[in-house]
Amino acid sequence: MKEHLIIFDTTMRDGEQSPGASMTKEEKLRIARQLERMRVDVIEAGFPAASPGDFDAVRAVAETIKESTVCALARANDADIERAAEAIRPAKRQRIHTFIATSPLHMEKKLGMRPDEVLEQAVRSVRLARRYCDDVEFSTEDGSRSEIDFLCRILEAVIDAGATTVNIPDTVGYAVPEEYANLIKTLRERVPNSDKAIWSVHCHNDLGLAVANSLAAVLEGGARQVECTINGLGERAGNASLEEIVMAVRTRHDVFPCDTRIDATQIVPTSKLVSTITGFPVQPNKAIVGANAFAHESGIHQDGVLKHRETYEIMRAEDVGWTANKIVLGKHSGRRAFRARLEELGIEIGSEEQLNQAFARFKELADKKHEIFDEDLFALMAEEPAPSEQERIRLVSTMIHSETGEPPHAKLTLAIDGKEYSTEADGSGPVDAAFKAIESLVHSGAELVLYSVNAITQGTDAQGEVTVRLSKGGRIVNGLGADTDIIVASIKAYINALNKLQHDAVRINPQL
C-alpha cells in the first residue's frame, strides 16, 4: 500500500504573483472548480490580507469547494491571520498557511528582527491560527538558505504550538536536489516532534530545478506534501509544475513509495484553463502539457511507436487528458453535440444564455473552418467574458489592407460602452496598423510588452491564438484572442487586454 502524497496547488496564490497573471473572483472560481474536479488535496486560493479583492475571491472559493481543503496565506501577524480565518470560514475543509522568513539575510535585512523574535512571532501566529482552524501550515520563508540549528528550533516550537504541516520553501530557487533532500531528511531526524507534522516542500524554478528538488525531497527526504502550480506558473521562473510532479510519481511508481489521488485525465483541461485565463501560453515542448509533448516527428520514432508504443512513449497521451487532435465537431453539429463535447472536456458552460452565445460563435467558426478540434473549443470558450467582466470595448468590424510597396492600412469599428466608433491607421505591418487604429480611439497609454502567435491546431486553416501583454502604471495584463485570421486574433487579444486594464477596480492585486 503506497503512502499518500499530498498535492497542494498554489496556482491561485504563488502562481498569481507572476506579473500579469492576476485573476478575478470568477476566474478563480473556475480554476478552483477544475482543481477540485482534478482531485487536488489542498487549494491555496489567495492571500486575503493583500487586498479586498483577494479576500472576496478566497471567500467565494471557500463557499464553493467541498472536496478539497481551501487554504489562505497569511504573514505571521495577527491581522493577516484573522483576515485569512475570516475568508476561509465557510469552507468545509479549511487551512491557514502562515509564514515568516528564517534566513539570516531575510531576518536582518528584510524583517529587521532577531532570530528569537522571529521564533516568538512564529509560535504566537501558529497558536492564533489554531484558535480558528485545526489545520495550520507554517512555512520558513527562504528556508533553504536558513541555518539548520535555527530551523530545528523554530520547527520544533511551531509543531508544539499546533502546526500540522511544516513547509521548507526554496524561495529563491537556489537549492540543488541532493542538498535539498538532505535538508528535509536532516530536519525530520533532528526535530524531536517531527512525527507530529506533515513535511512539505515548495520550490521555485530559478535554476530550472523546482521539480527535481521537490521529487528528491519526496524520495530521499520523506516529504509528503508538494506545493506546486499548473504549468509551473509562479513568481519569476515559476514554481514546481503540478503535472510534472504527479506524472513523475505515477510513471515511476517503481521508485516512489507514495502516490497522489489526482485524476490525471483532468491535467490537460486544467492546463488549458489556466493558460487561457492568465494569458500565459504553454511552451510547445513543455513536459506533459506542451503541444509537442506526445508528438513524434522523426521517422525512426514514428516507426517505433507504430510497432510498439512503449519504444518511445513512457506515458499515454490520453491518460493526461489529450484527445489527439480528434475532429470532434463540424458545420452540421448541433447544439446538443456541442454541449455534450464541452461537458466531456470538463469545460464550464455557465448559463443557457452563455451557451447560446458560445454556440453562435461555434457556428461562425465552423463556417470558416470545417473541422473543429477540441483545442478550438477550448479557445472558443476562453473568449466568453466572465460575468463581472462584460467587455467595455468590442470589435464590430475590421478591414486590413496589405500590399507590396504600400504601407499596411487598418480600418476598424469598435463598440465602446455600447456606442460605435470608426477609425483607421497605417503601420509598419498589418498588426501594427490595427493596434495603432485601436489606440487612436482608446488612448490607453499602455505599453505593449509582449506579442506572440501560436497555431492552435495543424493546417493552414488552423486558428491562430495571440497573446498580448500590456503594461500601464506598474500593472500588467495579458489578453488572448483566437481566430482563423491572425490579424483578427491579434485585435481580439489587444481588446481583451484593454478590457482587463479597464477593470482595475474589480481585479485583484496579490502583490503587497
Query: In the complex, which residues of this chain contact ligand KIV (CB under 6 A)?
Result: 14, 99, 139, 141, 169, 171, 202, 204
The partner in contact with residue 139, picked from Zn ion, ligand KIV, none with C-beta cut-offs of 5 to 8 angstroms by kind, is ligand KIV
Distance CA 16, CA 332 (A): 40
Looking at beta carbons only, is 69 or 467 nearer to ligand KIV?
69
Q: How far apart are CA 227 and CA 320, in angstroms?
A: 20
Nearer to ligand KIV, 146 or 278 (CB): 146
Which residues does 356 contact at the CB level (< 8 Å), separation at least 6?
none
Nearer to Zn ion, 14 or 54 (CB): 14
Work out how close the CB of 264 gets to Zn ion at its nearest, in angstroms, rounded to a whole number.
24
Q: Where are the alpha helices (DSSP H) in 351-502?
A: 352-368, 374-382, 430-442, 486-502
Asked if 267 contacts 38 with a C-beta cutoff of 8 angstroms, the reply is: yes
Smallest distance from the beta carbon of 169 to ligand KIV, in angstroms? 3
The SS3 call for residue 28 is helix
Q: In angstroms, give the least distance from the CB of 185 to ligand KIV.
A: 20
Closer of 237 and 415 to Zn ion (Cβ): 237
Q: How far apart are CA 408 and CA 365, in angstroms?
A: 26
CA distance 62 to 65: 6
Partner that binds at residue 141, options Zn ion, ligand KIV, none, CB closer than 5 to 8 Å by kind? ligand KIV
Give the C-alpha separation, 82 to 89, whole Å.
10
Q: Measured from the CB of residue 101, what is the shortest distance to ligand KIV in angstroms?
A: 8
Residue placing its CB nearer to ligand KIV in the complex, 168 or 476: 168
> Could you tell which of Zn ion, ligand KIV, none binds residue 278, using a CB distance below 5 to 8 A set by kind?
none
Say which residues have a Cβ less than 8 Å from residue 117's Cβ, sequence separation at least 6: none
Q: Which does 24 bind (CB under 5 to 8 A by kind): ligand KIV, Zn ion, none?
A: none
Angle at 481 between CA 479 and CA 484, to 5 degrees: 160
The residue among 14 and 376 lying less far from Zn ion, judged by its C-beta, is 14
The residue nearest Zn ion at its CB is: 14
- Cβ contacts of residue 140 below 8 Å, gap of 6+? 99, 100, 101, 102, 146, 151, 154, 155, 166, 167, 168, 169
Residue 99: which of Zn ion, ligand KIV, none does it interact with, CB under 5 to 8 A by kind? ligand KIV
Alpha helices, DSSP H, located in 295-351: 299-307, 335-344
Q: In angstroms, give the least distance from the CB of 259 to ligand KIV.
A: 24
Taking the least distance from each CB to ligand KIV, the nearer of 135 and 141 is 141
CB of 366 to ligand KIV, least distance (A): 44
Q: Look at residue 11 and give the partner it binds from ligand KIV, Zn ion, none, a contact being a CB closer than 5 to 8 Å depending on partner kind.
A: none
Question: Closest separation between CB of residue 7 and ligand KIV, Å?
Answer: 16
Residues that bind Zn ion (CB under 5 A): 14
Q: Minimum Å distance from CB 2 to Zn ion?
A: 27
Q: Which is nearer to ligand KIV, 137 or 465 (CB)?
A: 137
30 binds, among Zn ion, ligand KIV, none (CB under 5 to 8 A by kind): none
| Mode of pairing for the β-strands spanning 69-75 and 371-373 | unpaired
Residue 47's binding partner, choosing from ligand KIV, Zn ion, none, with beta-carbon cut-off 5 to 8 A by kind?
A: none
Q: What is the DSSP letter of 135?
A: -
DSSP letters spanning 198-226: EEEEEEB-TTS-HHHHHHHHHHTT---EE
